Amino acid sequence: MKMPAETTTVAQKLVSINPATGEVLAEFEPASAAEILAAVRRAREAAPAWRALGLKARARYLRQLKDVLLARREDIAQLISRETGKPRFESLAAEVLLVLDACEYYSREAPAFLRPERVPHHNLAVKGKRGRLEYEPYGVIGIISPSNYPFSIPLNELIPALVAGNSVVLKTSELTPQVGIAIRDLVRAAGFPPGVAEVLAGDGMTGRALVAAPIDKLIFTGSVATGKRIQAAAAERLLPTVLELGGKDPMIVLDDADLERAASGAVWGAFTNAGQACLSVERLYVARAVSDRFAELCVEKTKQLKLGPPDDSDVGPLIRERQVRIVEEHVQDAVRQGAEVRVGGRRPPRDRWPGFYYEPTVLTRVHHGMRVMREETFGPVLPIQAVEDDAEAVSLANDSEFGLSASVWTRDRRRGERIARELLTGAVMVNDCASYFGITEAPHGGVKLSGLGRTHGRLGLREMVRVKYLDVDLVPRLPKVWWFGYDELATRLMSGFTDFLFARGLPKRLRGLRDVVRGLGKRRV
């Protein structure tokens, strides 16, 4: 879910731009390294009291956050659309709604998910002990978030971090500073104690300062290149990280699929948020027997989409000029190598469309030698490749450095599930795509260059805590056979105990038990 690293500055300032028009909306000073350190210090000071409140009290703050957001949802959605260019519907559905649901979900489920868990002991030697797992907050968690979903991504990480008992320092995207300010104001209006949730707008230098600051864990969503640099820096002090580094998500359409529905899914999956989603359909493999009809349906549905500004469109602009150029390069490279542009494939006239637009594009006759099939395009392009059978579809889908998510489309549920298990990704959907990100229970994260760790759901919440094993001896006066005094008697006792537990045949086990009883009666520790 990321943009390539890009800092838009005028005299070292962050510039908020309306992507639909190119208009400069506002300018801001990026947070300095000193301000980051001060924010981390405030978060560190606030953490003990925040943790001491307990889970149920912290969950009440999430419900307050939900209430404030619900009351402000229209204004926040409008702001998101103005600063990102995405349609108002998407600002509500993929940004505001997801955060409201996260508040509801974690406020209800976190106390159960983080409740201490008993660890049963199966070995008779330790039946006199009681063990349990306890979940403790890290302390201060740093979050660096992107511009493509500048509201839902950071808040879906901040919310579980807070309810788990951590304080948070969030660095919002340099491309969407006004949304970052809205997050800060929202947290304040919800009444969170000072220092518990520090929100700062900044650029790449600000992000580097946060990585170097004395935080206890870092959650980053961004490019592979930046993620690798962060991981290298974190390794110097073994700083735990969660990295979500994007995808090149494949969609597989089998010969028995409902083509009408699959085409609708493909068009939405490729063009929602103008293709600027890590879960976008960026590669599509369709059975050759149905490939012509399927491509025709995709072209027809793409032609019906309305390109334009947020209040009157299905597909909006890209976030910046640089991203438009990347999309242009991928399409041009594909065309040079023989791809056919079935619809789109160009930037609309600048006199009519002064912002950062690119027409929704469907390509056929593509192959894996093309950049559009290997590199993350992050724009409104749907490349379609025909395949001979299921095996070829799976092989091509797995032929990628990325492994975030995928989708399989078929009328045969078992066939879809079988293929899903063969795909090397963090998630697979059957007969839908991308939308699992909106399921708060569903963990989100990938394999290979798509990153490390998970966000969302129970597993995402567990990323916000350290696991501690606590063991209590219930019979402290009982001699411990594993303590010192390694004499011949101790060795015979241990040999007998081993036979009692693991020997084949009841007679040998009983002889082992006899040796244990005799040994315990004579041994003194």
Query: Are residues 189 and 291 part of one domain?
Result: no
Q: Where do we find the tokens 């005094």? A: 485
Instruction: Tell me if 450 is assigned to some domain.
Output: no
CB atoms within 10 A of CB 476: 8
Q: Note the pLDDT tens digit of each residue in 324-337.
A: 999 999 999 999 99
DSSP code of residue 455: B
196 in any annotated domain: yes
For residue 312 the two structure tokens come to 């009157």
Spatial distance between the Cα atoms of 163 and 111, rounded to a whole number of angstroms: 9
| Domains identified in the chain, total number | 3
Kindly tell me if the per-residue pLDDT of 102 is higher than 80.
Answer: yes
The reply to whether 444 falls in a domain is no
Distance from C-alpha of 408 to C-alpha of 121, rounded to nearest angstrom = 42
Pair 91, 80: CB distance under 8 Å: yes
Q: Distances in Å between the alpha carbon of 55 and those of 140, 165, 416?
A: 17, 7, 40
Using the Cα atoms of residue 170, residue 176, residue 178 and residue 182 in order, give the sign of their dihedral. Answer: negative
Q: Are residues 162 and 35 in the same domain?
A: yes
Q: Is 502 exposed, middle or buried (0-12, 13-18, 19+ CB in 10 A)?
A: exposed
> What is d(CA 239, CA 216) in angstroms, rounded to the nearest whole number?
7
Which pLDDT value is given to residue 449?
A: 98
**Using CA atoms, how far apart are residues 371 and 59, in angstroms rounded to an integer?**
46
Cβ count within 10 A of residue 176: 27
Q: Cα separation of 511 and 508, whole Å? A: 5
Phi, psi (degrees; rounded to nearest 5) at 493: -60, -45
Nearest to residue 262, comparing CAs of 288, 291, 241? 291
- Tell me, yes or no, whether 276 and 155 share the same domain: no
Tokens 């403790």 belong to residue: 136
Alpha helical stretches, state H, 92-243:
97-113, 152-163, 177-189, 204-212, 224-235
Mean of the pLDDT values across residues 455-461?
98
Q: Which pLDDT belongs to residue 525? A: 58
Show contacts of 221-227: CB within 8 Å, 24+ apart.
Answer: 221/1, 221/2, 221/144, 221/145, 221/146, 221/153, 221/157, 221/245, 222/2, 222/3, 222/5, 222/144, 222/146, 223/2, 223/3, 223/4, 223/5, 224/449, 225/4, 225/5, 226/5, 227/451
Q: Is the pLDDT of residue 443 over 90?
A: yes
> What's the angle, vertex CA 134, arms to CA 128 and CA 138, rounded to 5?
145
Terminus-to-terminus CA distance in the chain, angstroms?
Answer: 60
Instruction: Clarify whether residues 407 and 515 are in a common domain.
Output: no
Rounded alpha-carbon distances, angstroms, from residue 467 to 50, 56, 114, 118: 19, 20, 10, 13
Q: Given a cut of 60, is residue 10 above it in pLDDT?
A: no
Three-class SS state of 287: strand
Q: Is the pLDDT of residue 4 over 60?
A: no
| Cα–Cα distance for residue pair 284/286, rounded to 1 Å | 6
More confidently predicted of 524 and 19: 19
- In a shared domain, residues 379 and 492: no
In a domain, 502, yes or no: yes
Please check whether residues 240 and 346 belong to one and the same domain: no
Please count the residues of the chain: 525
Distance from C-alpha of 437 to C-alpha of 456, rounded to nearest angstrom: 8
pLDDT tens for each residue of 127-158: 899 999 999 999 999 999 999 999 999 999 99
Question: Could you tell me the CATH number of the domain that includes residue 426?
Answer: 3.40.309.10
Q: Is 327 left (phi over 0), alpha (psi -120 to 50) or beta?
A: alpha
Instruction: Enumerate helices (H) and strands (E) in the chain, giving the number of each.
Output: 16, 21
d(CA 394, CA 419): 7
Q: Are residues 239 and 263 in the same domain?
A: no
Confidence band for 516, pLDDT divided at 50, 70 and 90? confident
Q: Read off the CATH number of the domain in which 216 is found.
A: 3.40.605.10
- Cβ burial, residue 122 (10 Å; 0-12/13-18/19+): exposed
239 shares a domain with 179: yes
Mean pLDDT of 183-189: 98
Mean local confidence (pLDDT), 495-516: 93
Residue 271, in any domain of the structure: yes
508 and 464 share a domain? Answer: no
Residue 474 maps to a domain? no
* Residue 73 in this model has a pLDDT that exceeds 90: yes
Q: Are residues 237 and 257 in the same domain?
A: no
Residues 6+ apart with CB under 8 A from 355: 18, 19, 20, 21, 22, 85, 309, 317
Chain centroid to CA 321: 26
State whether 214 and 339 are in the same domain: no
Domain carrying residue 295:
249-439
User: What span, in angstroms and rounded, lies between the C-alpha atoms of 426 and 402?
Assistant: 10
d(C-alpha 221, C-alpha 3), whole Å: 9
Residue 331 lies in a domain: yes
Q: Are 431 and 464 in the same domain?
A: no
Active site positions, annotated: 244, 278
452 assigned to some structural domain: no
Q: Report d(CA 279, CA 281) in Å as an integer.
A: 7
Tens-place pLDDT, residues 215-267? 999 999 999 999 999 999 999 999 999 999 999 999 999 999 999 999 999 99
- What mean pLDDT is reported for the chain? 95
